[in-house]
Structure 1
């Protein structure tokens, strides 16, 4: 009777998968601490030492997971933007018809404007940095590509088959969002006012 002999290669592969999964969990934890530090200090004023202190790690342990500040910031931006995109898509999934889709999308933009303010500021900070630092350009282009894809799906969910104007629509939403973000310190708008602004701009696009 032949006994089953474990495949050494399969065991090594499984071990590598477990190690990679554990490493990814740790990187996500570090990213959360990093975002907390960046919200307080901003990109330009935050060092890896600041992030290590915020994470309760040594600088050496931090650089084991991220080789430099650019790699860490890039990981953080991808992480929170993926969550932002996921929430938008979920918000319009159950909506039926143009008006319902617009309301759901405007509601999510309003919620994000009030609850995710620091992380949006970080996004615009990094996007501005990309104009001068080529290291950030790939991640900015990647994320904006995904945002355009998401807006295309939202437009289609609203019943609009012609998506040729999506890039212009994205620029309009982004411009309004950034303006509202920058002006919140001197002009704090309540949720009803934000909802009305986003609804109006979305009705122009859809």
Structure 2
């Protein structure tokens, strides 16, 4: 059951990302996937259930991708640069999926039905960001100046505003996000900014 839900969600991702929460229906989603409306409806109670599963699958992929940065980086500069580049690349390459995520997160303020699932996805993203910040601090020989919720709110805000600018056609959205990400890491681990030999990029 779980595997089939994941399979159907992956197949529906692109359609959902293009339509958004308000415009998507199970029937239209099924029409743009290899699966019948009946099959989609069998595994998902409604579109909120399907969209939540779609976002969960996509965000799980994102978490694994960024966890690889933590494993591979050997210096503060490597981690800071790869994280900034990764966020900027995802902003451009996966903008429709991120738009769907913010759409879903906004909708949960009005619809109780999937609020818990959205909160769980949000928490997994917060933990992902915190692993990066902690690793950056560790590589700098320091401790983060803030907690995980603060760090996540900072990067989430930077990314969401960059996404709005990117979707508006502003060509410098990705480069600005890269610069802001590097700056934010140094603000969260302040001593790193003065250790130019360690973090110079």
Residues 178/192 of structure 1: CA separation in 2 closer, same or farther (3 Å cut): closer
1:191 to partner: Cα distance:
4.7
Q: CA RMSD of the aligned region, Å?
A: 1.9
Greater shift in the superposed pair: 77-86 or 98-107 = 98-107
> For the structure 1 residues 134 and 47, does the alpha-carbon distance in structure 2 shift closer, same or farther, using more than 3 Å as the test?
same
**2:44–2:50 Cα contact (<8 Å) kept:** yes
Deviation at 1:190, TM superposition (A): 6.4
- CA apart distance, 1:201: 2.1
Instruction: Work out which of the two has the higher radius of gyration on C-alpha atoms and give 1 or 2.
Output: 1
> Does 1:166 find its partner at 2:144?
no
Distance 1:116 1:30 in 2: 19
Q: Which runs of 5+ in 2 are unaligned?
A: 190-201
**TM-score, normalised with respect to structure 2:** 0.83
User: What's the offset of the Cα at 1:100?
Assistant: 2.1
User: Aligned ranges for residues 173-184 of structure 1 at < 5 Å?
Assistant: 173-184=155-166
SS in 1 for 2:23: coil
Which string of whole-angstrom CA distances, capped at 9 and with x for unpartnered residues, describes residues 112-168 of structure 1? 111111000000000000111111211121112112222222122111444742211
The verdict on how the C-alpha distance between 1:72 and 1:163 changes in structure 2, with shifts beyond 3 A counting, is farther
TM-score by length of structure 1 reads 0.81
How many residues align structurally?
A: 184
Deviates more, 1:196-205 or 1:49-58: 196-205
Deviations 1:57-110 (A, max 9, x none): 332121122222122111111100000111111122111232222112112111
Relative contact order, higher structure (CA 8 A, sep 6+): 2
Q: Which runs of 5+ in 1 are unaligned?
A: 1-19
